[in-house]
Amino acid sequence: RERSSVVERDGSYTWFERAKSVIAGGVNSPARSFRAVGGDPPVVMDRGEGAWLIDVDGNRYIDYLAAFGPLILGHSHPQVVEAVRQAMAEGPLLGTPHPSEIRLAEELVRAVQGLEQVRLTTTGTEAVMSAVRLARAFTGRTKVIKFEGAYHGHSDAMLVKAGSGASTIGTADSLGVPQGVTQDVVSLPYNDIERLEEVLSRIGDQVACVLTEPIVGNMGIVNPAPGYLQKMADLTHKAGALLIFDEVITAFRFHYGSAGALLGVIPDLYAMGKIIGGGLPAGAYGGRRDIMDYVAPLGGMFQAGTLAGNPLSSVAGLATLQVLREENPYPRMDRLANDLATALLHLAARHGLVASVNRAGSGFTLFFGTETVQNYTQAQQADAGQFAAFHRLMLNEGVYLAPSRYEAWFVSAQHGPDEIERTVQAADRAMAHIMQG
Q: Are 75 and 46 in contact (CB under 8 A)?
A: no
User: What amino acid is encoded at 165 in this protein?
Assistant: G
Which listed range, 220-228, 243-251, 343-351, 392-400, lies at the site for ligand PMP (CB under 6 A)? 243-251
Q: Mark 251-270 with x for binding to ligand PMP (rule: CB under 6 A) and - for no binding.
A: --------------------
Nearer to ligand PMP among residue 37 and residue 393 (C-beta): 37
Residue 429: HSE in the Cβ half-sphere, 13 Å Cα cutoff: 17
246 catalytically annotated? yes
How far is Cα 240 from Cα 89, in angstroms, rounded to an integer?
49
DSSP track, 323-374: HHHHH--HHHHHHHHHHHHHHHHHHHHHTT--EEEEEETTEEEEEES-S--S
Identify which of residues 56 and 275 has a Cβ nearer to ligand PMP in the complex. Answer: 275
Does residue 363 interact with ligand PMP by CB under 6 A?
Answer: no
Nearer to ligand PMP, 123 or 396 (CB): 123
- Does residue 152 bind ligand PMP (CB under 6 A)? yes
The verdict on 151 binding ligand PMP (CB under 6 A) reads yes
- In the complex with ligand PMP, the residue whose CB is nearer, 151 or 368, is 151
Interface residue with ligand PMP, options 218, 236, 303, 375 (CB under 6 A):
218
Question: Rounded distance, CA 108 to CA 122, Å?
Answer: 15
26 is a contact residue toward ligand PMP (CB under 6 A): no
- Closer residue to ligand PMP in complex, CB, 48/70: 70
Name which position in 217, 317, 363, 403 contacts ligand PMP (CB under 6 A): 217
Query: Residues near 189 by Cβ (< 8 Å), separated by ≥ 6?
Result: 147, 148, 162, 195, 375, 376, 377
Rounded (10°) angle between helices 78-89 and 311-327: 150
273 binds ligand PMP (CB under 6 A): yes
Measured CA to CA, the distance from residue 146 to residue 220 in angstroms comes to 17
Q: Of 246, 334, 383, 419, which lies in the binding site for ligand PMP, with binding defined by CB under 6 A?
A: 246
Contacts to ligand PMP from residues 63-102, by CB under 6 A? 68
Residue 168, interface with ligand PMP (CB under 6 A)?
Answer: no
Is-catalytic flag, 274? yes
- For 233, phi then psi, to 5°, come to -60, -45
**What is the C-alpha to C-alpha distance for residues 393 and 368, in angstroms, rounded to an integer?**
15
Which residue among the candidates 55, 63, 190, 274 is catalytic per the annotation?
A: 274
Residues 425, 341: Cα–Cα separation, whole Å: 13
Asked if 248 is part of the footprint of ligand PMP (rule: CB under 6 A), the reply reads: yes
How many C-beta atoms lie closer than 10 Å to residue 203's C-beta? 14
- What mask, x for binding ligand PMP by CB under 6 A, covers residues 321 to 360? ----------------------------------------
Among 80, 118, 249, 337, binds ligand PMP (CB under 6 A): 249
User: Nearest CA to 223 among 358, 408, 391?
Assistant: 358
Segment holding 359, helix H or strand E:
strand 355-360
Which residue number is nearest to ligand PMP in terms of Cβ? 124
CB atoms within 10 A of CB 396: 19
**Bridge-based pairing state of the strands 52-55 and 60-63:** antiparallel
User: Are 360 and 333 within 8 A, CB to CB?
Assistant: no
CA dihedral 31, 34, 39, 42 (to 10 degrees): -130
Q: Which is nearer to ligand PMP, 249 or 427 (CB)?
A: 249
Q: How far apart are the first and last CA of the chain?
A: 27
CB of 244 to ligand PMP, least distance (A): 11
Point out the catalytic residue in the list 151, 285, 376, 406.
Answer: 151
Stretch that binds ligand PMP, among 20-28, 141-149, 245-253, 381-389 (CB under 6 A): 245-253
Min separation Cβ 216 and ligand PMP, Å: 8
Site membership for ligand PMP, residue 125 (CB under 6 A): yes
| Residue 392 CB partners (closer than 8 Å, separation 6+) | 37, 38, 40
User: Nearer to ligand PMP by C-beta: 196 or 251?
Assistant: 251
Q: How far apart are CA 429 and CA 10, in angstroms?
A: 24
Nearest approach, Cβ of residue 181 and ligand PMP (Å): 17
Which are the catalytic amino acids? 151, 246, 274
Kindly list the residues in this chain that would bind ligand PMP in the complex (CB under 6 A): 68, 123-125, 128, 151-153, 213, 217-218, 246, 248-249, 273, 283
